[in-house]
Structure 1
Amino acid sequence: MSPPFRALPPEDQRPEAPPSRPGRMMPQDAPALLTTRAAASILTPDGELVSVVVRDAGAFLATLPPPLLVHGPATLRRLGLAPDAQPVPWFDLLELFLFVMPTRPVVPTPRGMALALGLSPPAVIEADYLVHLLETLHRQLQERAARAGTGAMLGLLPLLSRAGWAWAPFVESVLEAVPSRNRHPYEALRVWRRLPRWEETAQRPPPGSRPVSPAEARTRLAGILGQDAEIRPGQADYASAVSHALAPREGAGIPEIVLAEAGTGTGKTLGYIAPASLWAEQNDGPVWISTYTRHLQRQIEQELHRLYPDARERRETVVLRKGRENYLCLLNMEDAVNTLASRPSPSPSALIGLSMLARWAEETEDGDLMGGDLPGWFGDIFGTSIAYGMADRRGECIHGACPHYQSCYVEHSIRRARQARLVIANHALVLSQASWTSLGRDEIPEEEQLPTRYFFDEGHHLPEAADSAFSLSLSGLEAAELRRWLLGAEGSRSRARGLRRRLEDLVATMPTLEAPLDAILNAAHALPAPGWLGRLHGGDDAPQASVPDLIVNPSESFFLALRTHLEARRTTHDRGTARIDQSECDLRPVSDALIAATQPFDTALRRLLTPLETLVERLKALLSDPDDALEAAQRLRIEAMIRALRRRAIVRVQGWIAMLDTVLDDTESGQGDAFIDIVRSEYVPGRAGETDVGLHRHWRDPTIPFASVMQGPAHGLLITSATLRDQTPAPAPGATLGATPGAGSESGAEASWIAAETRLGTQHFIKPPLRASLLSPFDYARQTRALIVTDVPQNDPDALASAYRLLFMAAQGGALGLFTAISRLRAVHERIAAPLEEAGIPLYAQHVDMMDNASLVDVFRTELHSCLLGTDAMRDGVDVPGQALRLVVFERTPWPRPDILHRERRRSLSPDDPRDYDDRLTRMRLRQAFGRLVRKADDRGVFVILDRRMPSRLLSAFPDGVAVERVSLSEAVTRIGSFLETPPSDPATGESA
């Protein structure tokens, strides 16, 4: 922090700023504010730079006008001010940045904004630098005005001015805005009227089957990398191995499969893009590249800039696909705009947030709200409901009946994918599509053309993704959501569109639909009614738990009995290892009370299922009518409605009935079954003290349905990751290729491959996979250290926080702290945030800072001396090369969660040695965490585990050559400091660089 006062340049030497409007404060007249949790740097209106401790900052700011700052809500939290004490309307530079450049990525810190604006920020940024950022944004706005690209901004200014947006006078003065008298004041928000419309194209012919040879894959990779690229040993071998997944399959249902493990630093993304892109070009067909998270999808997309540097070609060639719930729904936005316009005094915050969303919607490439080009900090600045409320998160899309169907972002992406070469998806979407395909061709929309080649990156997550995709939940929330989908909002202010609204114009012209529709809506009243959660938890109108028959609604009676069953059977877990927001118990043996409550609910679901099936049959009959009275749009709409009824209602209700049959017929032992049935309760977000309760069915081996649905459409599969296997003795350098192991081979490497194939489910396919293993090119013995700290008490949050603080300060930032429990993460953050920031080390945290994970990683990567706390999502797939990450601290050994699902699966997958199953999963998690540490050849770092109980048998998780030492906390602090301060030695000579 600087001295308390510092002079600024004289007034006549500062860049010219726009003139102030009388009566409205302008940002150039405002104080500038930059905070940490320890102190605030304030540039007063008089030009004095003042440093104030946090406890005095609030009182000091109260004497000043609203300040200029970056990220107002985060600033408020750091100052410890209550929401109603915020200096509104502040001048948040992020808001101005979003208004001027709505789709340009920007990290929400002063340094991040400087880099986004092409500036070179100083090593230490203080409040006066915000004036420089304002001047740069002022110039950017002037350049926009000179290019006459301000129509959308000018249209929104009257609304923003009316809402009291702090920046409105400033923007008006720059753009010399003149109020328009010819447009409705809300017309600027109706972006759907100005968006491009997609047009139908001819269906793409089936792709060819020409293979890609290993030599061709190597040549394409060399072309992508260029002559000056970093040479990565094994990358070309990897590309060569991947090409086998693109060979023609030998028979129906017999895809070519490659399991490829590529150590960190191999360059696997470009390694598989090379053969995939070549195959797509030669065969005029797409390759779908699937990864685990939205953040990783964007990372892969960024890599493709090297292959397709031209933005126009890249947009035509590469498409990023996600579930419909990730995108802006234009019909939802229309409803929100109309609702706001109908109010005599609309909420200023809602008006500003919706205006900013409209500003973004006109310039976004794909309308992706979750991890796309909408900033991850948008919800924190303007309210989470603005963005989340615009997405179709409840499956209410009416497809062809929507007036914005041809402008829909989702439909645009679907149609772009029809002509793309590479489609970047996620495991959840791919498995969902494949599962519906397995039910028949009727489930595939005409606009969807399924691929024949699938590349699964982060393949170690496939079992987890398959478990999520193929499990089934009969919970109060799920059942209430189905009721809402069928009946609509039922008198609330919600925009929910019920089944009658979706079908009303069809019913008016086709009377045969009326009877089954009425029967469905009547039967839907047996599902949980509005307010069910309060009744379940003893609200004013709740019956006594001892007389559940007083609840007329059969579903509510069932869920009350299910909760009683859970309360009686659950056991108390160690809160240090189990989730505190969840409890569970086995379904079997089923109590008499639960059986009694199940029968009426089972009957009610069957009464709902019958008219649903009748309605679908009558809709299908309309499509098969030889009369050509149906227009093409109407036909497409009916097809979409049939699919929606099957997916949202029929298949779900059929599954629920099957689960209830298990309750009613409690004759199975539960041993050796295909399914695991669990009763589970979970806290409901936003409803303190209330939990949802449900019956959950999981496949004992979720890779069985995965193999079943993939072997039909897939001609080739790649499953790749840095951690497909448990760590084994190192193979020879380069790739090792081969078929399945011989029956008599039981070497350590062979056993690890067998275990990997069992876990990933490739043994359920007809043809055995081809295996490839590529070693990491990094010299871990030289570049890393691994320490186990032996004197930090496990259940003492103060001691744990102290350890993190000392270790982070020893590394002077650049540290990632990993936790196995959110509660411990929050406890540590609360204790160390202020002292770290007093030392000049900013601290960010998942589940604390109101940003998505991708934004948090961007901040961490940008602020070189910051620290980040996170859980599983930060352990896997986070790529932070260089000095921004030089220390990883794991708070304890990441054992699998000791829940019922884990108990049953390890019993099935490792019956002879359950402990070995636990160890394998734990070693793979440690390998993933260690892999965050070194991402480039010149990276150096230290890995620390604060768990003296970590057994030595897990140490093989670390790369060969890494000596793991057990040390005290003080020794760890000393070793971290000395290792990171010592220049790296030359591997050839052993001398310091």
Structure 2
Amino acid sequence: MVLQGAEIERELALHPPPILVHAPATARRLDIPPFLDSYDLLELFAFALPARLAAPTPRGLAAALGLTPPHEDADAAALLPEIATKLLRALAETRNSAAGADAAAMAAQLKATINWAWADSVLAALGTPDAKPDRNAFRPWRRLPEWEDDAPPPPPASHGITATETRQRLAEILGEGSEQRPSQADYASAAAMAFQPREVEGEPRLVLAEAGTGTGKTLGYIAPASLWAERNGAPVWLSTYTRNLQRQLDQELARLYPDPEERRARVVLRKGRENYLCLLNLEEVQGQMTLKDSVLPLALAARWTTHTREGDILGGDFPGWMTEVFGVGVIGHLPDRRGECIRSACTHYRKCFVEHSIRRARHARLVVANHALVMVQAALGGGEDGKPLRYVFDEGHHIFDAADGAFSAAITGFETAELRRWLLGAEGGRSRAKGLQRRIEDLVEESGEDVTGPLLAALHAAQGLPGPFWQTRMAEGTGASNPTEAFLAAVRAQVLARAPEDDGQYGLEADVHPLNPEVEETGRLLDVALSALEDPLKKLCQALQSRIDHAPEELETSDRIKLETAIRGLERRGLMPLAAWRGMLKGMTVVPEPGTRPRMVDWFELTRREARDVDAGMRRHWLDPTIPFATDLAGPAHGLLITSATLRDRAPNADEEAAWRAAEARTGAGHLAMPAIRAAVPSPFDYQSQTRAFVVTDVDKSRTEQVASAMRALFLASGGGGLGLFTAIRRLREVARLIAPPLLAEGIPLYAQHVDAMDNSTLVDVFRAEEDSCLLGTDAMRDGVDVPGRSLRLLVYERVPWPRPTILHRERRIHLSGGYPKGYDDAEARHRLRQGFGRLIRRGEDKGVFVLLDPRAPSRLMAGLPVEPRRVTLKEAVAETEAFLREESTGGSAP
């Protein structure tokens, strides 16, 4: 007998609380209200094995614990007690240790506070059934080590490495008996050329290397990078595009440094501050811990804090399912997402995870970063990590996009209001932002009028930035309270007047010229207001710097750190954006000559969320952002390897030289004095036998219901293992709503980005662990996701991923297309389709099906795919998908 909904709820009420995995997801699947009481194994896993990652499903937990993953739901249910037993045994192994004492104190506290379901079992496993509650268990900073400043590292040597040495290092990493891949060794030899000594200032050794999927490029570049770092005593920065890729790269480095302690010493992950747990936030959230619902997630976060390797709470070793299970109310406040870090004034400064990582990176061999951090640091003139000499840019086809974001500026309500909050602190509402005066008050007391005068002038001038409730005034068109709000209102009016159409739902853009008189006048007044803020901030910086310059012998080290931190914050949070904004406002009044190629592209923008105006302003981007990338980052470096599986565009009938020139244009290589070294290694996979590709001809992509029906039919035909890729979040959510119930009824769980409250890394972990699940996503799921095996055997694009038609894209289409704007769009779409196809086959035994649900897809876009798609009806695509993948699952061979 199969129970449903209310029947399940009544049956559960007659029995003790159940053991399960992921209570909210289980309740949704059973169509019952959320569990009031249960033994959730995710809670026990996070408590017993903090900082250990596992997909939040029975199969995921089984795999993480070394148990055989169950195939059927009944087997999974039967395995739950064994999982619980194994976790409790792991706790029992910590008896009579400091870690066990901490766990016992935390469990006793949870028992006393919320009567946690697992508390008695945990205490029994630890042999401490009568342990006393201790709130100190919630204060993990007491047990964290403090960082210490070391002497600056010596200057690096400039020894080169040979291809023979690189191949030998690669063989050592792979180990005896590993599969020999000649293409991987050839690729490593080519990558080694980026690590030769630089001969001329401003002319780095640059290698562009395209490595087909399956080449093994990650270990291929780790070999020369690690060899150079060891030989020359300086780190190599390995940059990827996403946090998920950073984690994958870090896992690959276990091949080079299998010992965890050595890997921690040799490898450092670097991300922006907003990715790390802020100890001060944790302490303050705990101080507000009044709701019982917040106790358990804070306890698990505290347990994690003393075990984490990097302190990375977004995409690191923090359980990504915590937000979905406990909500964003607690976890969302733990990282410093609003730039409220008070640096050396923080009581936890010497234990701060970010400060630890910065110092460790200076002495590491390999630093695993992401393009956004690397680019932003270059835009800031070096950043806290200094300027590395050697880089590897994996997923190098994204350099253009990453540079586009880093080397840009915006005068918006959010940006300007954020500066006001940084200067004035919290003006009501829930925030611990202390404002500039509170952050440097001890420096002010010791410096006298030289600091006090400009400080007070700056705080007064900050009133010209958007004040509390500025969004409401802007959306309702009520009176602006200062020059910035007046400018935003004028910009909003011009956008509404010039936009070709407005459905009231989505954001709008408008060209700056011709400029409305009201925008010109409010822009002039805003420039005056910003000047009144910029001048005292400059004087404040000069006054603080004079304290360092005039009496350095009288300064304690801690005082010097505080002064330098304050100066750096004023420059980066205040003076740099103010200079950019004033430059934009002055440039706004200069009317460009029609038809001329602009250096920068400016436009006005109105941002909406859920049909409500939430921001407005002016944006400025480089027409070609690889120019500042080449000038500020690549040019000063000594060597760079830029690599990807899709560096070149495979346009129909294009010659090799044209393909390489396009790659050089997208990576900035053409702006460097020394020509790039080119290398290409083909994929070893047999795509003709391992894949099938279809363009479906009878689905109306404009009708979401038809797209949903097609995707459901294809997912059922594959028996799961399907990844659906979308170009719009709204359509993704609607399709997820329509197909999740029928798929689940057939035993195929569906997960979706922007629907499930898990980070992308955790969603991919679940998709990988649950072999017959399906996943819906956008760009982040298309780029760099590594899911080998049957877990990904079907890829479905809902439509051709054309670039979004924006003003910025229009200008680039005109001026960067070489006189062929249509080809510019084609190249972007071809690249995205190739990237998606590349997710399908990750190993020699993989098989997969590629489907595009867009009858109007031009054949020229398919030139970049390794197989030529056939145009078929949906019925034919479903039948052939089922036949091909059934053959794969039963071990047959493709025709």
TM-score between the two structures when normalised by the length of structure 2? 0.96
Cα 1:520–1:461, aligned 2, differ >3 Å: closer, same or farther?
same
If you compute each CA radius of gyration, which structure gives the higher value, 1 or 2?
A: 1
Match of 2:793 in 1: 886
Matched, 1:566 2:471: no
Any conservation in 2 of the 1:400–1:634 contact (CA below 8 Å)? no
Structure 1 residue identity aligned to 2:107: L
Cα 1:654–1:669, aligned 2, differ >3 Å: closer, same or farther?
farther
> Which one of 460, 481, 484 corresponds to residue 552 of structure 1?
481
What's the CA shift for 1:356?
A: 1.6
Matched, 1:416 2:367: no
Any conservation in 1 of the 2:635–2:672 contact (CA below 8 Å)? no
Match of 1:389 in 2: 333
Any conservation in 1 of the 2:187–2:681 contact (CA below 8 Å)? yes
What's the CA shift for 1:175?
A: 3.4
Any conservation in 2 of the 1:321–1:423 contact (CA below 8 Å)? yes
User: Could you list the per-position Cα deviations for residues 875-895 of structure 1 after superposition, in whole angstroms to 9, with x for gaps in the alignment?
Assistant: 110111111111111111111
Any conservation in 2 of the 1:880–1:935 contact (CA below 8 Å)? yes
Matches within 5 A, 1:771-850: 771-850=678-757
Any conservation in 1 of the 2:108–2:123 contact (CA below 8 Å)? no
Cα 1:725–1:593, aligned 2, differ >3 Å: closer, same or farther?
same
More helix by share: 2
Q: What SS does structure 2 have at the residue aligned with 1:693?
A: strand
> Which one of 403, 412, 417 corresponds to residue 475 of structure 1?
412
Matched, 1:111 2:18: no
Match of 2:571 in 1: 646
**Structure 1: distance between partners of 2:417 and 2:31:** 39
Matched, 1:945 2:893: no
Structure 2 residue identity aligned to 1:927: R
**Structure 2: distance between partners of 1:176 and 1:847:** 43
Any conservation in 2 of the 1:210–1:282 contact (CA below 8 Å)? yes
Cα 1:429–1:837, aligned 2, differ >3 Å: closer, same or farther?
same
Matched, 1:595 2:520: yes
Matched, 1:500 2:405: no
**Structure 2: distance between partners of 1:532 and 1:166:** 46
What's the CA shift for 1:839?
A: 1.2
Any conservation in 1 of the 2:651–2:860 contact (CA below 8 Å)? no
Match of 1:425 in 2: 369
What's the CA shift for 1:982?
A: 2.5
Identity of aligned residues (%): 51
Q: What SS does structure 2 have at the residue aligned with 1:145?
A: coil
Cα 1:146–1:624, aligned 2, differ >3 Å: closer, same or farther?
closer
Match of 2:872 in 1: 967
Structure 1 residue identity aligned to 2:743: L
**Structure 1: distance between partners of 2:719 and 2:634:** 51
What's the CA shift for 1:580?
A: 5.8
Match of 1:655 in 2: 580
Q: What SS does structure 1 have at the residue aligned with 2:95?
A: helix
User: Could you list the per-position Cα deviations for residues 920-958 of structure 1 after superposition, in whole angstroms to 9, with x for gaps in the alignment?
Assistant: 111111111110111111111111111111111112111
Matches within 5 A, 1:289-304: 289-304=238-253
**Structure 2: distance between partners of 1:691 and 1:318:** 41
Structure 1 stretches of 5 or more lacking a match?
A: 5-50, 341-345, 439-443, 544-549, 730-745
Quick check: 840-849 or 169-178, which moved more? 169-178
Structure 2 residue identity aligned to 1:129: L
Match of 2:135 in 1: 186
What's the CA shift for 1:138?
A: 2.9
**Structure 2: distance between partners of 1:209 and 1:917:** 40
Match of 2:104 in 1: 154
Match of 1:733 in 2: none
> Which one of 141, 147, 154 corresponds to residue 91 of structure 2?
141
Quick check: 364-373 or 55-64, which moved more? 55-64
Q: What SS does structure 1 have at the residue aligned with 2:620?
A: strand
Q: What SS does structure 1 have at the residue aligned with 2:99?
A: coil
What's the CA shift for 1:142?
A: 2.7
RMSD of equivalent CA atoms: 2.2
Cα 1:496–1:688, aligned 2, differ >3 Å: closer, same or farther?
farther
Structure 1 residue identity aligned to 2:103: M
Matches within 5 A, 1:482-881: 482-511=419-448, 512-538=450-476, 543=478, 550-572=479-501, 581-626=506-551, 628-666=553-591, 669=594, 671-683=596-608, 689-727=612-650, 748-881=655-788
Cα 1:518–1:983, aligned 2, differ >3 Å: closer, same or farther?
closer
What's the CA shift for 1:486?
A: 0.6
Structure 1 residue identity aligned to 2:517: D
Structure 2 residue identity aligned to 1:242: A
User: Could you list the per-position Cα deviations for residues 282-303 of structure 1 after superposition, in whole angstroms to 9, with x for gaps in the alignment?
Assistant: 1111110000011101111111
Matches within 5 A, 1:163-178: 163-177=114-128
What's the CA shift for 1:324?
A: 1.1
**Structure 2: distance between partners of 1:52 and 1:59:** 10
Cα 1:121–1:243, aligned 2, differ >3 Å: closer, same or farther?
closer
Q: What SS does structure 2 have at the residue aligned with 1:52?
A: coil
User: Could you list the per-position Cα deviations for residues 102-140 of structure 1 after superposition, in whole angstroms to 9, with x for gaps in the alignment?
Assistant: 111111001111111221133212334323322333333
What's the CA shift for 1:56?
A: 4.3
Match of 1:11 in 2: none
**Structure 2: distance between partners of 1:397 and 1:669:** 46
What's the CA shift for 1:636?
A: 1.6
Structure 1 residue identity aligned to 2:246: Q
Matches within 5 A, 1:270-349: 270-340=219-289, 346-349=290-293
Q: What SS does structure 1 have at the residue aligned with 2:602?
A: strand
Cα 1:301–1:62, aligned 2, differ >3 Å: closer, same or farther?
same
Structure 2 stretches of 5 or more lacking a match?
A: none
Match of 2:301 in 1: 357
**Structure 2: distance between partners of 1:985 and 1:801:** 28
Cα 1:779–1:56, aligned 2, differ >3 Å: closer, same or farther?
same
**Structure 1: distance between partners of 2:8 and 2:287:** 42
Match of 1:457 in 2: 394
What's the CA shift for 1:497?
A: 1.9
Quick check: 931-940 or 194-203, which moved more? 194-203
Q: What SS does structure 2 have at the residue aligned with 1:696?
A: strand
Structure 2 residue identity aligned to 1:94: L
What's the CA shift for 1:202?
A: 1.8
User: Could you list the per-position Cα deviations for residues 675-721 of structure 1 after superposition, in whole angstroms to 9, with x for gaps in the alignment?
Assistant: 1111112235xx87242112111111100111110144300011100
Q: What SS does structure 2 have at the residue aligned with 1:234?
A: helix
Q: What SS does structure 1 have at the residue aligned with 2:268?
A: strand
**Structure 2: distance between partners of 1:255 and 1:171:** 57
Any conservation in 2 of the 1:327–1:368 contact (CA below 8 Å)? yes
What's the CA shift for 1:758?
A: 1.4
**Structure 1: distance between partners of 2:691 and 2:672:** 40
Q: What SS does structure 1 have at the residue aligned with 2:93?
A: helix
Any conservation in 2 of the 1:232–1:265 contact (CA below 8 Å)? no
**Structure 1: distance between partners of 2:195 and 2:244:** 26
**Structure 2: distance between partners of 1:188 and 1:705:** 49
Any conservation in 1 of the 2:696–2:872 contact (CA below 8 Å)? yes
Any conservation in 1 of the 2:238–2:369 contact (CA below 8 Å)? yes
Q: What SS does structure 2 have at the residue aligned with 1:119?
A: coil
User: Could you list the per-position Cα deviations for residues 391-431 of structure 1 after superposition, in whole angstroms to 9, with x for gaps in the alignment?
Assistant: 12222222222221211111111111111111110011111
TM-score between the two structures when normalised by the length of structure 1? 0.87
Matched, 1:368 2:293: no
Structure 2 residue identity aligned to 1:106: A
Any conservation in 2 of the 1:728–1:749 contact (CA below 8 Å)? no
Structure 2 residue identity aligned to 1:388: G
Any conservation in 2 of the 1:328–1:390 contact (CA below 8 Å)? yes
**Structure 2: distance between partners of 1:638 and 1:712:** 31
Aligned length in residues = 891
**Structure 2: distance between partners of 1:770 and 1:690:** 49
Match of 1:235 in 2: 184
